[in-house]
Amino acid sequence: MGPRQGNRHRRPSLPAVKPVNQAPCRRGRTEMNAQTVIQMDQPEELTGTLQHGGAFPLPLILDILKRQIAISSGFLSILEEEKHALINMDVTSLISLTRKKEGELAKIAQLDHSLQEVARRIVTSSAPQKKTIKLAELIPFMTREQTLAVKKYRDQLAGLREKISSNNLINKRFASDTLGYLNDAISLICGEIAGEKVYSMRGRQPRKASVPSLVSREV
């Protein structure tokens, strides 16, 4: 009985070794949270690895795409409101909608930049000199399941951006025609008083460099 009790007294020394085995796990979780790259609840087939050993940032890419889709859908609604304001020549609403458009475009540009930064980290060794990286170029680094997940949202976003481009062009043409009608009306009333047109698209202030003139359709 004596030796057995002595062995029991030595067992509490085992927990002292446990933190050594746990340390890499805590460090790994800290690195993943800092990069916002992998979520612990993602299925195993959606968390592949890159050629250089890092985990493929699928959750981050999907999150950016989902946010872009949400903003692009809202932008389409703004363009629809703008069309009605142009038809009714509601200047007050047009001014407000223009500010909204610029704000949403700035958000889209920021998300595009974030997505490019993520993509560049993935393919940096393959295409270090490329200015723009398309999502299709990430396919060699993804599993089949990852490719299908990214393609689903990419196609949805591409469709929204095509609609944005088309509707924005329609509104621009309608605005140009409206300005032409206004200039013709003023010329009939006032005559050729000034050398320049009273209403001109060129009279507007230039956009800030950080705001794109039109949403990019390159996805």
Looking at 1.20.58, 1.10.150, 1.20.950, 1.20.120, the CATH number of the domain 52-197 comes to: 1.20.58
Name the residue among 145, 120, 121 with its Cα closest to residue 134: 120
pLDDT in tens, 207-218: 444 444 444 555
Map out the domains of the chain as residue ranges: 52-197
pLDDT in tens, 134-178: 888 888 889 999 999 999 999 999 999 999 999 999 998 888 777
Quote the pTM value. 0.61
Name the residue among 64, 53, 55, 50 with its Cα closest to residue 37: 55
- Report the amino acid identity of residue 195: G
C-beta of residue 199 within 8 angstroms of C-beta of residue 183: yes
C-beta of residue 125 within 8 angstroms of C-beta of residue 50: no
